[in-house]
Amino acid sequence: MLETHLFKERQTVKLGLIKTVQDLFPGETLKTAYSIKDGVFCRLDKSALSEREVRKIGVCLREWVKNDEPIEFLCRKDGYYHYRMGETVVKVLYPADTHASRAEPFSVLPFFPGFIVDFAASGEEKNLLLPERLSSAYDKTQKWLSNIGIELVPDVNAYIESGRSLELISIAEALQEKEISDIADTILKERRSVRVVLITGPSSSGKTTFAQRLSAQLRVNGLRPIPLSLDNYFLNRNMTPRRKDGSYDFESLHALDLKLLQRQVTELIGGETVETPLFDFVTGTRMEKTRPLSMGPSEILLIEGIHALNPELLPAIGRYNLFKIYLGSLFELNVDLMNRVPTTEVRLLRRMVRSVRYRGTSPEETIRQWDAVRAGERKSIFRFAEESDVVFNSSLLYEMHALRPFAEDSLKQIPDDSPFRDTRDRLMNLLDFFQNMDCSKIPFNSILREFIGGSIYFDEE
């Protein structure tokens, strides 16, 4: 499964969109902001768009595709692919198909203050769930960046080059701590009804560190979080569902003993003591030993896992008893206004660095596994994001600068004759846009420490 930002036909749509916006709104610049399922949210840099204007963009863009307007590839230089369309020259991070008529089918949907270019809902716009919570989290981050005068990657590079790295780290970490504290305060206000906190997010979004930091803030508020691991509710290996190729599907919701989990959570909320299971991953079976668990009036159940937001996980528990948190690694910075940094690239680098340093997994194996990881995310995680009570952005504005030396060391292990050479070169090219920074001042409870090491929450020996 190729990452969507690598689809040449999708990049062709981007070229046409840039050209269309420049033709319709002289003096304005298109900003590609963030991905939404199978699309991307875009807006103008200086002003909001009305629904009428968005419809006009859609009409003109489809006309551009229909007419098969000429696209000329000029060169690859300074990390960009350069193209000419008439008198417009555009530079983009990823290559495009030079035939406009081959552009991937799309819909342009109004979403104030801009629009969504959606590649899945063509002809089915009514089925697209607008990303209200995701958008709110992104907008909150953008307002904060505006307050400190940062918008693009070169702005952060300038901070680092002027010796102000510690200032950046302090501000970014303080923002996340405030967000976590605010979430804990919200849970406290609803403590009479909320008995279970559910946390999920895609791979390498920092769920474990977030859960630990939220637990600390809940304790400050007088609540005692009780962790319940979904991993201990796995069915015995011989009962695990299989994929079409015969391999075990450990990421299926039905790989869990749902009946036992649902019964025990109901009993815990009702004040009973239960014997929770323990799973042996070596033998692939449930242990005979169990762990007694109960919840008092000041205690709250904390469940973290990929299925945490799936309504089928705890269908009998009232929604008012559940507080759902979605972690999105919404990398906030664009390389420039028209070229965003795909969040999947950032998470892949996070995962690669952690796997090489602490899990004994080679960079090639991490890349080889990535398609299966992404397929699981699409199936089990992303579609439930809008059901959350809050979206927490686990990305840090300085993280690509901090990850760069670790990521480069990992990527250099991939030889030239590897089938993953193109991925290596693509990621190395992306890293070149980020100035190296000193990581020694990053706090030891930072989410980034989960990947680069030195976290107080992990035993790394």
DSSP per position, 222-240: T-EEEEEEGGGGBPPGGGS
Q: What is the pLDDT of residue 461?
A: 52
Whether 120 has a pLDDT exceeding 80, the answer reads: no
Task: Give the mean model confidence (pLDDT) for residues 419-436.
Answer: 96
Rounded CA-CA distance 430/453 in Å is 22
Report pLDDT digits (tens) over 194-236: 999 999 999 899 999 999 999 999 999 999 999 998 989 999 9
CA 244 to chain centre: 27
Rounded CA-CA distance 64/80 in Å is 23
Residue tagged 């769930």 (tokens) = 129
Rounded CA-CA distance 114/47 in Å is 9
Residue 330: band (very low, low, confident or very high) from pLDDT cuts 50, 70, 90? confident
Tell me whether residue 218 is exposed, middle or buried, using C-beta atoms within 10 angstroms of its C-beta: 0 to 12, 13 to 18, 19 or more: buried
Domain ranges of the chain: 4-130, 133-223+298-452, 231-297
Based on its alpha-carbon atoms, the radius of gyration of the chain, rounded to whole angstroms, reads 23
Report pLDDT digits (tens) over 221-279: 999 999 998 989 999 988 989 888 888 888 789 999 999 999 999 999 999 999 999 99
Report pLDDT digits (tens) over 148-205: 889 899 999 999 999 999 999 999 999 999 999 999 999 999 999 999 999 999 989 9
Rounded CA-CA distance 341/300 in Å is 37
Per residue, what are the HEC states of 204-224?
A: CCCHHHHHHHHHHHHHHCCCE
Q: What is the pLDDT of residue 350?
A: 96
Which two three-digit tokens encode residue 157?
A: 């590079």
Whether 123 has a pLDDT exceeding 80, the answer reads: no
Q: What percent of the chain has pLDDT over 70?
A: 97
Q: What is the pLDDT of residue 358?
A: 87
Q: 413 φ, ψ to 5°?
A: -75, -15
**Cα–Cα–Cα angle for 73, 77, 81, nearest 5°?**
40
Read off the DSSP letter of residue 256: B
Q: Which of 340, 192, 325 is nearest to 269 (CA)?
A: 192
CA 209 to chain centre: 15
3-state DSSP helix/strand/coil % of the chain, to nearest 5: 45, 20, 35
Name the residue type at position 290: T
- How far CA 217 is from CA of 181, 185, 378, in Å, comes to 6, 8, 31
Greater model confidence, 6 or 311: 311
Q: What is the pLDDT of residue 147?
A: 86
Whether 122 has a pLDDT exceeding 70, the answer reads: no
Report pLDDT digits (tens) over 375-427: 888 888 988 998 999 999 999 999 999 999 999 999 999 999 999 999 999 99
Q: What percent of the chain has pLDDT over 90?
A: 73
- Asked if residues 253 and 307 have their Cβ atoms less than 8 Å apart, the reply is yes
Q: What is the pLDDT of residue 126?
A: 46
Q: What is the pLDDT of residue 21?
A: 95
Query: Quick one: angle between helices 399-411 and 153-161, nearest 10?
Result: 90
- 409-439 in b/e form (b: 16+ CB < 10 A) is ebbeebeeeeebeebbebbbebbebbbebeb
Task: Give the mean model confidence (pLDDT) for residues 132-154.
Answer: 86
Report pLDDT digits (tens) over 23-68: 999 999 999 888 877 788 999 988 999 999 999 999 999 999 999 9
Strands (E), 70-212: 72-77, 80-85, 88-92, 107-111, 114-118, 196-200
Specify the 3-state DSSP secondary structure of 175.
Answer: helix
Note the CATH number of domain 4-130: 3.30.980.10
Q: Which residues pair with 75 in a beta bridge?
A: 82
Residue 127: band (very low, low, confident or very high) from pLDDT cuts 50, 70, 90? low
Whether 308 has a pLDDT exceeding 60, the answer reads: yes
Per residue, what are the HEC states of 359-395?
A: CCCCHHHHHHHHHHHHHHHHHHCHHHHHHCCEEEECC
Whether 456 has a pLDDT exceeding 70, the answer reads: yes
- Asked if residues 405 and 411 have their Cβ atoms less than 8 Å apart, the reply is no
Residue 360: band (very low, low, confident or very high) from pLDDT cuts 50, 70, 90? confident
Specify the 3-state DSSP secondary structure of 29.
Answer: coil
Between strands 390-393 and 322-328, the pairing is parallel
Rounded CA-CA distance 188/101 in Å is 55
- Asked if residues 67 and 100 have their Cβ atoms less than 8 Å apart, the reply is yes
Q: What is the pLDDT of residue 277?
A: 95
Whether 125 has a pLDDT exceeding 60, the answer reads: no
H helices present in 234-302, as ranges: 258-269
Query: Quick one: angle between helices 51-66 and 8-24, nearest 10?
Result: 120
- Average pLDDT score, the chain: 91
